[in-house]
Homo-oligomer: A and B are copies of this chain.
């Protein structure tokens, strides 16, 4: 049987919250992320467990089963491919595409996804630097550094963001920080951990700790 939009959203969120290690996800965390009440989450968990999509023992949190993981990754694949489409083909800004992809990710057709993937040239990453799972469901998270882990004098490549909020992405746009740009830390203020950063070797700007904490980068 088919999964509903709601079920797919739950699975995707459980995947995100359980992280690389596949930790147990709590009811409250899910209530927070789905903007529903804990009682509603419990109802849904019982249903997902009945369908064999999650491992669920009362009071013990949840993990995805193999089958649940498969569904979650398929939804993530669709989400990220559609985001690439919206940015690369339709000219949307990276701050505008998340909400739309949140709907498009639920379009069922398998054939559509594969043709879209070809049309886009089999992109490996979405407009926010997040990796796109392949058709077989393999998803490899690159291990990037957070900019706060980089010292003065180091040059790094900007590879992704942790915060996907439009306001954060628009702030990066205004600062001239784009995916793939070279960032060189020229100074870190001891007092508030704000930093001076040179972008692509030229203009320099101040960025707050709040911003640094949300930038994923890579050495060299």
A interface residue numbers (CB < 8 A to B):
86, 89-92, 96, 99-100, 103-104, 107-109, 111-112, 115-116, 119
Q: What are the residues of chain B within 8 A of A92 when measuring CB–CB?
A: 111, 115
Instruction: Report whether A115 and B100 are in contact in the complex, using a CB–CB cutoff of 8 Å.
Output: no
Please give, as numbers and ranges, the residues of chain B lying within 8 Å of A116 by CB-CB distance.
Answer: 90
Interface pairs (6), CB distance under 8 Å: A90-B112, A91-B115, A92-B115, A100-B112, A103-B109, A104-B107
A23→B69 CA distance, assembly (Å)? 50
Query: Are B100 and A107 in contact, with the CB atoms below 8 A?
Result: yes
B90 touches A115 (CB 8 A): yes
Min CB–CB distance A111 → chain B (angstroms): 8
Q: Nearest-CB distance from A87 to chain B (Å)?
A: 11
Kindly state the separation between the CA atoms of A116 and B116 in the bound complex, as whole angstroms: 14
Which residues of the other chain, B, contact A108 by a CB distance below 8 angstroms? 103
A43, chain B: closest CB distance, angstroms:
21
A121 smallest CB distance to B (angstroms): 13
Q: Which residues of the partner chain B approach A107 to less than 8 Å between Cβ atoms?
A: 100, 103-104
What separation, in Å, do the CA atoms of A108 and B104 have in the docked complex? Answer: 10
Distance, CA A103 to CA B90, complexed state (A) = 20
Q: What's the minimum C-beta distance from A10 to chain B, rounded to whole angstroms?
A: 19
User: Using Cβ atoms and an 8 Å threshold, which residues of chain B touch A90?
Assistant: 112, 115-116, 119
Residues of B within 8 A of A99 (CB): 109
Whole-angstrom CA separation of A103 from B104 in the bound complex: 9
Query: Inside 8 A of A96's CB, which chain B residues have their CB?
Result: 111
How long is the Cα–Cα vector from A104 to B112 in the complex, in angstroms?
Answer: 11
A89 to B14, CA, bound (A): 34
- Write out the residue numbers on chain B whose beta carbons fall within 8 Å of the beta carbon of A111: 92, 96
Question: Which chain B residues border A100 with CB–CB below 8 Å?
Answer: 107, 109, 112
Query: What are the 10 closest A-B residue pairs judged by CB atoms, nearest first?
Result: A90-B115, A100-B109, A103-B107, A100-B112, A90-B119, A89-B119, A104-B107, A91-B115, A90-B116, A103-B108
Give Cα A6–Cα B109 distance, bound, in whole angstroms.
19
Q: How far is the CA of A109 from the CA of B100 in the complex (A)?
A: 7
